[in-house]
Amino acid sequence: MTVVDLLDLNDTGHLLDPHHGGPVPAEQVPAVIEKHLRLHDDTTDIFLYVHGWRTSTDNAEQAASRLFRLMEDVAEQQPYAYPRIGPFRPQYVCVRWPSGSAATKAGYRTIRDRTAAMAHSGQVSHVLAAVLGYFNERRTLPEAGPDVLRGSYGQYLHAVGHSFGGRFLCHAIEQASNRLADGPDTFAWPWKSETYPWTLDSLTVFQMAAPADAFTTAPYTRLLDDSVLNAPFTMTFSPHDRALGLWHRQTEDGSNGIGFLGATGPREHLHTMPLHPTTENYVFPTTRLLNVDASAYYRSSPLRIEGAHSDYFRPESAHLLLSLANQAR
């Protein structure tokens, strides 16, 4: 059974105490996280998952478990595809937030506005930045150097989001970057900063609920500069995602969502490639924004009102996550 540690937020973005369920004062968030989460000495990779729209607390845990179980299965079936990972002993965290609303345009607007308010308050980004900071302080940082192949030393940190969860992760990375300074450490990705002492080794968002041109304006442009993200911002998209096509256009001034169209700018930072079958190895380009065209796999049923918005529970998605983790070494 795949074990996932859980962290819960209320509708204002405050962390809820795992024991009594009440909101945790901001100054106590790091202490509560440290008490609740425990990084195992033998962990090789840490994955932080943030779910998207219309996901109950039970379904959020199930979604994280389902995705990470797929990843474990694929890693077990074809370890030769990820030669730099060995052994693979992952640890998982799922951040849950109140994302329920009607499956209508009005319901979409409700969640859009809620995520904006939660991010604007600073609580969501504060909590997620504290989680990232906790793991950074407790993990053994991967060693820099020329030999980063099979059996590379250290614990790698990855963030995975779906839909609106991608927005939360963007704000968290920005805040974590603003709080850190001094002394670099460098890994296998080509973005090496002399500003930040640690890195987030991959960031993947499935079907991100943000305008396709989001990275041309603040705060998303911040992720194109030096930050704790030492990896491409990887985003899947599919024109079969009705939630981020039709509904997004009707609620975001005619703009398609990233999960429908992919990011559209800035063009000098963009590269688009297909989601690969599990039998095909990835060769990742040197680019800050990586669009992954999943239209061949994320198709869903035309009878589902949101289309392919949640159709990422596939071995091909797990293969993408594992390939990014492999590349980080």
pLDDT in tens, 261-289: 999 999 999 999 999 999 999 999 999 99
Nearest CA among 107, 127, 108 for reference residue 119: 127
Structure tokens belonging to residue 128: 């997620």
* CA 249 to mean position of chain CA atoms: 24
For the whole prediction, is pTM greater than 0.75? yes
Nearest CA among 57, 39, 71 for reference residue 136: 39
* CA 5 to mean position of chain CA atoms: 16
Most confidently modeled of 151-165, 178-192, 251-265, 307-321? Answer: 307-321
pLDDT surpasses 70 at 252: yes
Residue predicted with more confidence, 283 or 306: 283
The CATH number of the domain holding residue 253 is 3.40.50
Overall size of the chain counted in residues: 329
pLDDT surpasses 80 at 294: yes
Question: Residue 266's CB: how many other CB atoms inside 10 A?
Answer: 14
pLDDT surpasses 70 at 257: yes
pLDDT surpasses 70 at 180: no
Nearest CA among 245, 242, 261, 257 for reference residue 302: 242
Locate the DSSP E strands across 35-182: 45-50, 90-96, 156-162
In this prediction, residue 30 carries a pLDDT of 87
Whole-angstrom distance, CA of residue 238 vs CA of residue 314: 14
Confidence category of residue 189, pLDDT binned at 50, 70, 90: low
pLDDT in tens, 192-216: 566 666 678 999 999 999 999 999 9
**Mean pLDDT on 151-172:** 86
- Residue 143's domain comprises 4-327
**Mean pLDDT on 66-75:** 98
pLDDT in tens, 4-59: 999 999 988 899 999 889 999 988 988 899 889 989 989 999 999 999 988 999 99
User: Is 298 within 8 Å of 240 (Cβ atoms)?
Assistant: yes
Q: Over pLDDT 90: what percentage of the chain?
A: 53
Whole-angstrom distance, CA of residue 296 vs CA of residue 283: 19
Whole-angstrom distance, CA of residue 310 vs CA of residue 244: 11
In this prediction, residue 153 carries a pLDDT of 63
**Alpha carbon distance, N-terminus to C-terminus of the chain:** 27
Tally of structural domains, the chain: 1
